[in-house]
Amino acid sequence: MSDCCIFAGQGAQVPGMGKDFAEADAEAMALFDKANAVLGFDLKKICFEGPAEELTKSNVCQPAIFVTSYAAYRAFQKRRPTSFACAAGLSLGEWGALCAAGVLDFDATLTVLEARGRFMQEACTATPSGMIAIMGASADQLKELCEKTGCTVANINSAAQQVLSGSKDAVAQAATVAKELGIKRAIPLQTAGAFHSPFMAPAREKLAPVLDTVTFHAPQVPVLSNVTGQPHSSDPGAIKALMLEQVTQTTNWAADVEAAKTLGCTRFVEFGPGKVLSGLIKKIDAELFTTNVSDLPALDATITALS
C-alpha cells in the first residue's frame, strides 16, 4: 500500500487559508514571510484576510495556493514523515508537486507561479474566452460538441467529467449544442478565461524566458505530468519543456490517477485548500482512499486516518 501526495489547483482558494498553520508553526509563518519578500507584495495578508476578489486574481491565487499547500505539506511531514511513492497536482498544483519532489526550490516555484498567473491573466484580458464543464458525455458526443463549437478539451477530470475551453461565443454555443446532443449536463464556469487552450499561447510565450531563469533538478520521487499522464523523466530540460506545454495543453487528471495506481498507490493525500482533487479521484475509482490537509483539524484527522 503506497501513498501519493497531491496538490490543489486554481479555484480552491478561500480567504483565511494557511492562517492556522502559520499561527501554530514558526516554519509555516516563515514560508509566508518569505513569499512576501520574494513576491514584493503582502501575500500573507491576502491569504489570511482576503478580500476574495484580490485572492481570485491569477497572479495572486497561484502563488497563494502553492504557499498554503506547501505549508500544509511541511506541517504534515513534521508530524508524520512520509516517503510518498509519487506526487501529482492539477495545473498549478503540478508545480507544488515538483517542489515537493525537489525539482524546484520554494523561491523558484513562487517566482514561476506569480509570472505564470500574471501572464495567464493578461491573456484572458486580451481575448474574451471561457470554460464549460461537461458531465456524462460519451467520447463521440464530446468530439461532436468540439467540432460544432470550436471548443477544445482543457481538462479531463474523469471519464464522466471534462472541461472545454473556447471563445465566449463558443462556450455559450456549447451549452446549447450539449442539450441538442443529449449530454447530461453542461455548466459554464466562472473563470477569467480559456485556460489550457490555444488562447493561452501568449502566456506560454512569455513564461518561457522566466523558466530559463530558474534551476530544474531531477525529481526525487516520480511526479506525474498533466500533459502525458505519465511520470516526468529524470531530465530537467524535458520537465521544463512539458511544464511550458502544460499552459496550452489539455490537463489529463484522470490519466495521472491511473498512473499513480500503476505505481501501487491506493491512498491519496491532498494538500492545500478544499477537497476538489479528492472528489475527482472518488469519481475515477471509488475504491481509492483520499484525505485532505487543508487546515490543522484536517491534518489531525489525516494523521489519524493514515495510522
Pairing of strands 129-135, 152-158: unpaired
CA dist., res. 267 & res. 23, Å (int):
29
Nearest 5°: phi and psi at 192?
Answer: -70, -25
* Fold for the domain defined by 129-188: Alpha-Beta Plaits (3.30.70)
CB 195 within 8 A of CB 116: no
CA dist., res. 46 & res. 57, Å (int):
11
Closest C-alpha among 13, 10, 60 to residue 251: 10
Task: Calculate what percentage of the chain has a pLDDT beyond 70.
Answer: 100
- How would you classify residue 142: left for phi > 0, otherwise alpha for psi between -120 and 50, otherwise beta? alpha
CA dist., res. 5 & res. 220, Å (int):
13
CA dist., res. 169 & res. 179, Å (int):
16
Mean pLDDT for all residues in the chain: 95
| pLDDT of amino acid 233 | 97
| pLDDT of amino acid 72 | 97
Q: What is the pTM of this model?
A: 0.95
Query: What are residue 148's DSSP bridge partners?
Result: none
- The predicted model gives 41-56 an average pLDDT of 93
| pLDDT of amino acid 184 | 87
In CATH, the number for domain 2-125+197-306 is 3.40.366.10
Active site residues: 91, 196
Q: What is the pLDDT of residues 231-259, one digit of tens each?
A: 999 999 999 999 999 999 999 999 999 99
pLDDT at 8 over 80: yes
- What's the pLDDT band for 300 if we cut at 50, 70, 90? very high
CA dist., res. 232 & res. 212, Å (int):
18
Q: What is the pLDDT of residues 140-149, one digit of tens each?
A: 999 999 999 9
How would you list the strands of the sheet with 185-188, edge to edge?
A: 185-188, 129-135, 161-167, 152-158, 251-252
In this structure, what DSSP letter does residue 250 have? P
- What's the pLDDT band for 307 if we cut at 50, 70, 90? confident
Sequence ranges of the domains in the chain: 2-125+197-306, 129-188
CB 55 within 8 A of CB 47: yes
Q: What is the pLDDT of residues 173-223, one digit of tens each?
A: 999 999 999 998 999 988 889 999 999 999 999 999 999 999 999 999 999
Q: What is the pLDDT of residues 58-106, one digit of tens each?
A: 889 999 999 999 999 999 999 999 999 999 999 999 999 999 999 999 9
Nearest 5°: phi and psi at 223?
Answer: -115, 130
Which residues lie closer than 8 Å to 43 by C-beta, 6 or more apart?
32, 35, 36, 60, 63, 64, 67
What single-letter amino acid sits at 31?
L
pLDDT at 1 over 80: no
